[in-house]
């Protein structure tokens, strides 16, 4: 399909709600807005492959704040900003006045004088990350309304305690490309399953992001985990509501084999229990580090009881057929490779290595699309103009 045809399809989608707005949770966005992100990401990808520059900024900053370690998302954010013509500036809180008690409102305004985008990753503490992002959003809005900021920076959620929208959207793009269109996801079964990890504190935002988004496409979404590894109940409610509206389904099981049976896609990924992460957040707030260390030991012991929750060749044989996809946000805990016992057997991971890397490759374009749609009220018109101008990326 040509870029021109894709731009015409974009023009038929109503993405005006994204203009001058933030991208914090996928379930805050309409179906058309979600589809517009996919379409713009696909167009930007095609333009780059065709050596057409989509740089719409001559100057400006994309500020990144990562409160947790990151490889793929950090570089994806930088790539997305660079693709559109922005320079990335990382906010290192340890080198800022935040350590000396600077308020969120003050920090948000001070970093935003010439910033067009702020990307934040804050996923470690339940009830904190998304709330912090909204506090920053409110602060920059106040600064813009007061005339302090010449432009109102767009906030992009690069992972919080609730959702990981850039990951779930990139995962969706992988599925769209694999199955030949968003409409072809309807009726496909995806198993979002807990898997064993020798570490204890992996965020819930990936499984929550998957069940909160894939249920919108009419898919049959199965959430599998041992007892005690529940996700946030409010996100489960969102998944049920989405499934009812899309004609898909959302079910839960305590069996990895049941989840994999007849699945078109499997997504085995470790996460920490919601209740335990709530307790950890409360202990952190109280400054009780000794109690946190005790909790860590308890959770590692609990994890060790479920080492059989591993994506093996035997489990993969239960899927619909040999074309079933294995997905992961990476890095995966690979048995006998990155750890003694982990989420996935080495043979399974190795067989899907290239598709996994392809899955990750969509994230820069998804982030760039979120930025683009927030800056242009008529994204189809702007992309059409860029295409006609035809500036070369490599001259």
How many Å apart are CA 233 and CA 262, to the nearest integer?
A: 26
The CATH code of the domain that includes 338 is: 3.40.50.1370
Residue 191 sits in the same domain as residue 104? no
User: How wide is the angle at C-alpha 309 spanned by C-alphas 304 and 315, nearest 5°?
Assistant: 160
Co-location of 158 and 180 in the same domain: no
Residues 378 and 308 in one domain: no
pLDDT at 210 (0 to 100): 98
Mean pLDDT by runs of 10 across the 395 residues of the chain is 96 97 98 98 97 95 94 96 97 69 90 96 93 97 96 97 98 97 97 95 94 98 97 97 98 98 98 90 89 90 95 98 94 96 98 97 98 98 92 82
Q: How many CB atoms lie within 10 A of CB 206?
A: 23
Q: Do 196 and 295 share a domain, yes or no?
A: yes
pLDDT at 98: 66
> Are residues 304 and 241 part of one domain?
yes
Per-residue burial over 248-260, b if 16 or more Cβ lie within 10 Å, else e, is bbbebeeebebbb
Domain that holds residue 235: 167-360
250-362-11-176 Cα dihedral, nearest 10 degrees: -40
Same domain, 338 and 383: no
Question: Sheet holding 220-224: strands in order across?
Answer: 249-253, 220-224, 189-193, 265-268, 325-326
Same domain for 81 and 195 = no
What 3-state DSSP class applies to 267? strand
Shared-domain flag, residues 191 and 238 = yes
180 found inside a domain: yes
* 30 and 96 housed in the same domain: yes
CB 113 within 8 A of CB 146: no
188 and 273 fall within a common domain: yes
- Tell me, yes or no, whether 317 and 274 share the same domain: yes
């Amino acid at each position: 399909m040509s870029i021109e045809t894709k731009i015409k399809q974009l023009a038929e989608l109503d993405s005006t709600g994204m203009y001058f707005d933030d991208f914090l949770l996928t379930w805050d966005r309409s179906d058309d807005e979600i589809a517009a992100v996919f379409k713009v990401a696909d167009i930007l990808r095609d333009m780059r492959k065709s050596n057409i520059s989509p740089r719409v900024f001559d100057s400006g900053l994309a500020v990144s704040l990562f409160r947790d370690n990151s490889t793929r998302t950090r570089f994806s954010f930088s790539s997305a900003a660079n693709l559109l013509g922005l320079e990335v500036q990382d906010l290192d809180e340890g080198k800022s006045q935040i350590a000396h008690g600077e308020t969120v409102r003050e920090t948000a305004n001070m970093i935003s004088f010439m910033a067009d985008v702020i990307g934040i990753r804050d996923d470690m503490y339940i009830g904190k990350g998304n709330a912090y992002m909204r506090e920053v959003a409110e602060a920059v809005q106040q600064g813009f309304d007061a005339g302090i900021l010449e432009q109102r920076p767009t906030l992009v959620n690069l992972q919080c305690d609730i959702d990981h929208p850039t990951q779930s959207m990139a995962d969706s793009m992988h599925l769209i490309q694999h199955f030949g269109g968003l409409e072809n996801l309807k009726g496909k079964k995806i198993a979002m399953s807990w898997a064993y990890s020798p570490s204890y504190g992996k965020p819930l935002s990936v499984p929550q992001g998957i069940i909160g988004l894939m249920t919108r496409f009419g898919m049959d979404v199965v959430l599998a985990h041992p007892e005690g590894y529940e996700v946030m109940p409010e996100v489960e409610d969102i998944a049920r509501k989405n499934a009812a509206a899309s004609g898909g389904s959302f079910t839960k099981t305590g069996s990895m084999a049941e989840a994999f049976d007849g699945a078109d896609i499997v997504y085995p990924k470790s996460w920490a229990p919601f209740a335990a992460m709530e307790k950890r957040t409360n202990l952190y707030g109280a400054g009780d580090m000794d109690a946190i260390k005790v909790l860590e030991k308890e959770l590692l012991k609990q994890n060790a009881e479920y080492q059989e929750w591993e994506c093996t060749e035997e489990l993969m044989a239960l899927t619909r057929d040999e074309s079933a996809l294995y997905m992961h946000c990476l890095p995966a805990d690979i048995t006998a490779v990155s750890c003694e016992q982990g989420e996935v057997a080495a043979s399974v991971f190795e067989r899907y290595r290239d598709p996994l890397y392809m899955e990750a490759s969509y994230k820069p374009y998804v982030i760039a699309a979120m930025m683009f749609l927030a800056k242009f009220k008529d994204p189809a018109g702007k992309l059409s103009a860029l295409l006609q101008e035809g500036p070369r990326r490599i001259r």
